[in-house]
Amino acid sequence: MNNYEKYKTHMRKIADVSYASGVLNWDQETYMPQGGAEIRAQQLSTLAGIVHELSSAGEFGTLLNTLSADTSLSEKEKRNIKQSLKNYNDSKKYTTAFVQEMSRSVSEAFQAWQQAKEKSDFSLFAPKLEKLVQLKREECKLLGYENHPYDALLNQYEPGAKTKDIEILFADVRSQLVDFVKQIAAAPQNTDAFMYRHYDKQKQWNFGIDLLRQMGYDFNHGRQDVSSHPFTTNFSSQDVRVTTRIAENNLSEMIWSCIHEGGHALYEQGLPISEYGLPSGEYISLGIHESQSRLWENNVGRSLAYWKGNITLLKKYFAEELKDITAEDFYKAMNLVKPSLIRTNADEVTYHFHIMIRFEIEKALIEGSIEVKDLPSFWNKKYKEYLGIEVPTDAQGVLQDIHWSHGSFGYFPTYSLGSFYAAQFFAKAQEQIPNLAGEIEKGNMALLLKWLRQQIHQYGKFYPADELCEKITGEKLSFGYFMDYVKNKYKYIYNL
């Protein structure tokens, strides 16, 4: 066995243990009985320790350094080694004890968050979150950073991104989106009242399965379940699972959960199984991952063409509830632009105000300018400032997202990055796929999925996010594509 084969064997062993942990995490959020929480935290902590030991073993580092000097490797192999060596050097900055403590703290925080959200009482979550924030501040010091400690966390989800880059991005949001939202608010408003009629849970579930199949989601290598917060997880490209959320008095919950998570899942199912365990078999960044979910959810799923094609199918399930509704009515209802409390239910324009608030909170928490005890009042203040909304309860406010209970600080900005990448990618897809809107209206998503497979999914981590964007579109990420997209769309919807 040559050195590169030894490397692949070791990487796949790490992946095997990591994905075994992933199965336990998925079960924890879907089927695990509440009484199993304590031992599950211990199991996940043990597996996290094993992954860290495998990832930071001295002999593995020696092998990586030897391979990094091997000029006989192919370009893909060289990039795999470069990425793995970076990950190895980062792993060496952690102790096994720290990794296990982080894993245990995340499991405990998740259980506390679930209880706190159910009772709408932030104080039940606060002690566990405070522990996580302390660990995250320590992690920033372990990893090191150039300008701001938040850089270290952001880099875990969007490699190479800096806090100052995100600040510039949200400056664009403030300078361009705020005024556009005011224009929409001053226009005659559409209604979405019919979205809140009673819609049977089982019928919604069946319709969601139809939408996933139409997108190209492979149920032979995946499944859907219900969870309190929709998510996608995978244990290889051959086992990619999604969850959804269903409310019988809100049709939007299930539809957008299914399409959004389906977009994530299609990316994971499109990664090459031959590269399992290697960087070339992994997604590039969460910004690119979010571009796939947001492209399907917004550029496709919230388009008029999509609902011209799917309104008949929807009415097959809800003929009486929607007997007075046309495809255009549905299109306008799903694209209302108005401030809202819940991020996951927000329209695609004001959505970025929700992300901006979370970014500002995370940045302040990590730098220490606010503390966990200040979160509810700080959150409520920001919602009043940016969205003009009073937050009535903790459950509808600071407890609405699962991310902090997972220790996922640095994740939220990737949602906005994803939307902006999606607009740019979709613009290019429209150029290169003849009559794409017409194909979508016919229910034919195969051409778009094939384009995404060829342009993005097949490469794994071969290209960094910025390099991939330039390869596909001929330029770096530009906020202008998103602004052009929303202006063209909403000028029609609101007769601006």
| pLDDT tens figures, 406-451 | 999 999 999 999 999 999 999 999 999 999 999 999 999 999 999 9
Does pLDDT of 72 surpass 90? yes
Q: What's the pLDDT tens digit per position in 318-328? A: 999 999 999 99
Most confident of 170-179, 193-202, 221-230: 193-202
The three-state secondary structure class of 410 is coil
Confidence tier at 216 by pLDDT (50, 70, 90): very high
* 434 in a structural domain: yes
Q: Are residues 191 and 92 in the same domain?
A: no
* 310 in a structural domain: no
Range of the domain at 357: 163-200+270-303+315-493
Q: Are residues 283 and 347 in the same domain?
A: yes
Measured torsion, CA atoms of residues 128, 132, 133, 134, in degrees rounded to the nearest 10: 100
Sign of CA dihedral 438, 444, 450, 456: positive
Amino acid at 232: T
* 133 in a structural domain: yes
290 is catalytic: no
Does pLDDT of 466 surpass 90? yes
Residue 440's domain is classified under what CATH number? Answer: 1.10.1370.30
Q: Are residues 51 and 190 in the same domain?
A: no
* 62 in a structural domain: yes
Helices (DSSP H) in 375-445: which residue ranges?
375-387, 413-432, 436-441
Q: Mean of the pLDDT values across residues 281-310?
A: 97
Q: Are residues 336 and 399 in the same domain?
A: yes
pLDDT at residue 255, rounded to an integer:
96
Confidence tier at 279 by pLDDT (50, 70, 90): very high
Confidence tier at 487 by pLDDT (50, 70, 90): very high
pTM of the model: 0.90
Q: Are residues 56 and 178 in the same domain?
A: no
Q: Are residues 339 and 478 in the same domain?
A: yes
Q: Are residues 442 and 489 in the same domain?
A: yes
From residue 286, give the alpha-carbon distance in Å to each of 167, 236, 249, 267, 410.
Answer: 18, 17, 32, 11, 10
pLDDT at residue 73, rounded to an integer:
96
User: Catalytic one among 29, 108, 139, 261?
Assistant: 261
pLDDT at residue 1, rounded to an integer:
86
> What's the rounded Cα separation, in Å, for the pair 141 and 162?
16
Q: What's the pLDDT tens digit per position in 6-35? A: 999 999 999 999 999 999 999 998 999 989
Percent of the chain at pLDDT above 70? 100
The torsion angles phi and psi of 465, rounded to 5 degrees, stand at: -55, -50
Does pLDDT of 344 surpass 90? no
Q: Which of 109, 144, 179 is at the close of a domain?
A: 144
Q: Mean of the pLDDT values across residues 337-345?
A: 90
Confidence tier at 163 by pLDDT (50, 70, 90): very high
Q: Mean of the pLDDT values across residues 90-97?
A: 91
Q: What's the pLDDT tens digit per position in 218-249? A: 999 999 999 888 999 999 999 999 999 999 99
C-alpha angle 246-303-184 in degrees, rounded to nearest 5: 95
The torsion angles phi and psi of 224, rounded to 5 degrees, stand at: -120, 140
pLDDT at residue 228, rounded to an integer:
81
Q: Are residues 448 and 365 in the same domain?
A: yes
Q: Are residues 75 and 193 in the same domain?
A: no
Specify the DSSP class assigned to residue 174. Answer: I
* 415 in a structural domain: yes
Q: Are residues 49 and 180 in the same domain?
A: no
Q: Are residues 340 and 386 in the same domain?
A: yes
pLDDT at residue 443, rounded to an integer:
97
Percent of the chain at pLDDT above 90? 93
**Count of CB atoms within 10 A of residue 49's CB?**
19
The structural domain count of the chain equals 2
pLDDT at residue 473, rounded to an integer:
98
* 383 in a structural domain: yes
Q: Are residues 136 and 169 in the same domain?
A: no
Confidence tier at 345 by pLDDT (50, 70, 90): confident
pLDDT at residue 29, rounded to an integer:
87
* 244 in a structural domain: no
* 248 in a structural domain: no
- Per-residue tokens: 428: 């290019």
